[in-house]
Structure 1
Amino acid sequence: MKPVKILIPSDFSIQSEYAYILVKKLEEKLPVEIHFIHILNTPESVSIDENGKITTCGDIAPTFVQKQYDLAVQKFEELKKRLEGNIHTHIRSGKITEGIISFAEKNGFDLIAMGTKGVEGLRDKIGGTETQLVVRKSKVPVLSLSCDRSQLEIKNILFVHDFLAEEDFDISLMKRIREAFQCKIHLLHILTSRSKTHESQELKKKMESFAKENQLENYSINVLKDTDVEHGVFHFDQMHSMDIICLGTHGKGSLFYSSVAEKLINHMYKPFITFRLYEK
């Protein structure tokens, strides 16, 4: 079976190790290939190739970048000694978000796994966490979490979706996890005050069709009324205690707009798998 190729961005904080711990949990049932990447936050005038050769122009001295690079190499060596199994490490330079996404997309990764510290208040509207930005821009699915999940038992996956929308997306990774762990998928559609009154009449039929088209096994169909999608997900999880939450994102985000996926990632202590939605 082809391994799931997973990229873990690391700033050498505990959050990146949380991501690794959850990836190791996946490895109990799935073959995985684990890569860590550290992005040196440098201007575009600095470049580092696969062999660690540094090229600079402008006002930044190569010796300054070399010190940063050598420190990252040292920290990765220390990381390898602490962690079990075979891991690959990479160091690149540039803008952090763009560097992570570009590396993942160009090298055929199936998943980006990131720890997040969460965020509250004005910063949530202005910039958000690095994880939030990667979720917004990445075409590669993103697994995010905010705490140690070493004791997690993957038995229930919540799949949140607007089953009336005409959209394209890829849930093959979710299906692989379901098959590997023999867990149950709970399909959830949330009706809000903006929902049309006739929607509930066709919802369950649409959800059943979705399950059959995607060859889902061991699933449940759930429709919940709530003030908005975020509260609906939160309340459903309170009632049923999900292990992993999967939902799509259109990749939108700005000072005045934050997606449902981004809000939930920053404010719920659950592992999330987000994937890109495309309008038909």
Structure 2
Amino acid sequence: MKRIIVPIDFSEHSEYALETAASIAKKYNSEVYVLHMLQLSNAIITASANSLNEEAVFYLKLAEQKMETFLDRPYLKGVNVIPVVKHFMVFKEINELVKAHDADLIVMGSHGASGAKEVLLGSNAEKVVRYADIPVLIVKHNPILVEFNTVVFASDFTDESVESYIKAKMIFEKLEANVRLVYVNTPNTDFKSSIEIDRLISRFLKKIEGNLDKFKEVTVVSDYSIEEGILNFANKVDADLIAITTHGRKGLAHFFEGSISEDVANHSTLPVMTFKL
């Protein structure tokens, strides 16, 4: 993991993300790109012929000053930090920075979202999860100790999830984490019999490990929803982190079908790491 991107808005949750990223960077010897999105309107940016107008320059200088103060943290000592201020308008543009610097992980703070706010707006972290092409780690609280000893990785164990799990496995091995695989069976159209689940898990493990040695380490839980099953199991095993794959649904598909990964990220009090299918 060579490069980590941390989107910030100078809030306390941004600082939680930055401290978490710094801890991970020290283990991986990674560079940390700290990104602030000005989100200036096109009218402001293009007001002058070929350059930013005075208002845009003002916001840019203000952001740079805030960035300098924000990055004055003792936990950043020894970490290679690169401040970045961009005129990004929407969160999908973060992928531009990801591609430009070949980044491996996005770390972002979030207070979550619920109720009408969740339906109409969602959280900023949710938007990043939806659009990011690389893993996203979302943190909700001050990381007193950034040690991911026990990680719950929730999967549907389909062939589509194999590549995501391989990426996750590499990260968690480096972090020396104990990964607990879990499958959630629900009483709806996705319900499967025990034999069907066993076959699904067996096929998955053979593709990943080449054998079934870890079959007994996979936990199957039953709950009213996949989200509840994941959160309840993570609480039961005293997990430090939840990892989950995401389809990154957008537009009408997202509105009507939703996203389990985004729901978990919004409602979990634990850090959540998402992996794009």
TM-score, normalised by the number of residues in structure 2? 0.86
Q: How far did residue 118 of structure 1 move?
A: 0.9
How do residues 68-83 of structure 1 correspond to structure 2 at under 5 angstroms?
Answer: 68-82=59-73, 83=76
Residue 225 (structure 1) shift: 0.8
The alpha-carbon deviation at position 107 of structure 1 amounts to 2.7
- The residue number in structure 1 matching 2:2 is 4
Distance 2:88 2:18 in 1: 23
Matched, 1:145 2:143: no
Distance (whole Å) between structure 1 residues aligned to residue 172 and residue 191 of structure 2? 33
Moved more, 154-163 or 202-211: 202-211
Q: Which runs of 5+ in 1 are unaligned?
A: 48-54
Shift of 1:210: 2.8
1:37 corresponding residue in structure 2: 35
- Higher mean displacement: 86-95 or 251-260: 251-260
Match of 2:38, SS? strand
Is the 8 Å Cα contact of residues 190 and 232 (structure 1) preserved in structure 2? yes
Of the candidates 10, 13, 16, which is equivalent to residue 14 of structure 2? 16
Aligned residues of 2:139 and 2:272 also touching (Cα < 8 A): yes
What amino acid is the match of 1:75?
K
In the TM superposition, what are the counterparts of 1:164-175 in structure 2 within 5 Å? Answer: 164=158, 166-167=160-161, 169-175=163-169
Residues 129 and 274, structure 2, Cα contact 8 Å, conserved in 1: yes
Shift of 1:96: 3.4
More moved, 38-47 vs 163-172: 163-172
Aligned equivalents of 2:103, 2:244: Cα separation in 1:
19
Tell me the equivalent position of 2:153: 159
Q: Which residue of 2 aligns with 1:258?
A: 258
CA shift for structure 1 position 137: 1.5
165 and 46 in structure 1: CA distance in 2 versus 1, 3 angstrom threshold: farther
Are residues 172 and 37 of structure 1, via their aligned partners in 2, closer, same or farther at CA, if it must alter by over 3 Å?
farther
Q: Tell me the distance in 2 between the aligned counterparts of 1:35 and 1:208.
A: 40
Matched with 1:179 is 173
Given that residues 204 and 221 in structure 1 are in contact (C-alpha distance below 8 angstroms), is that contact kept between their aligned partners in structure 2? Answer: no
CA RMSD of aligned residues (A): 2.6
- Report the alpha carbon displacement of residue 73 of structure 1 after superposing the two structures with TM: 0.9
Higher helix share: 2
Alignment-mate amino acid for residue 150 of structure 1 = I
Q: Deviations over 1:70-98 (max 9, x none)?
A: 01111121123223232001111031313
Is 1:67 matched with 2:58? yes
Residues 18-74 of structure 1: CA distance to partner in whole angstroms, max 9, x if unpaired?
A: 111112232353222111111111123565xxxxxxx6448x971101111001111
Contact 1:46/1:94, CA 8 A, preserved across alignment? no
Q: Relative to 1, partners in 2 of residues 1:165 and 1:218: Cα closer, same or farther, differing over 3 Å?
A: closer
With 26-35 and 202-211 compared, the bigger mean Cα shift is at 202-211
1:191 paired with 2:185, answer yes
Match of 1:87 among 81, 87, 92: 81
Tell me, yes or no, if the aligned pair for 2:44 and 2:52 is still in contact at 8 Å.
no
Name the CA shift for 1:214/1:167 in 2 (closer, same or farther; >3 Å): closer
For the 8 Å contact 2:168–2:275, the answer to whether it is kept is no
1:209 deviates by: 4.2
Query: Does the 8 A contact of 2:4 with 2:25 survive in 1?
Result: no
Query: Take 2:118 and 2:59, find their aligned partners in 1: how far apart are those partners?
Result: 29
Partner residue of 1:236 out of 233, 237, 241: 233
Q: Percent identity?
A: 26
- Change beyond 3 A, Cα 1:177–1:218: farther
Secondary structure of 1:68's match? helix
CA contact (8 A) 1:21 1:150 kept: no
1:213 is the counterpart of 2:207: yes
Partner of 1:133, secondary structure, is helix
The offset of 1:196, in angstroms, is: 5.9
Q: What does the per-residue CA deviation read over 1:175-209, in whole Å, with 9 as the maximum and x for residues that have no partner? A: 23322233211111110012566542142343244
CA 1:205–1:257: 2 relative to 1, 3 Å: closer
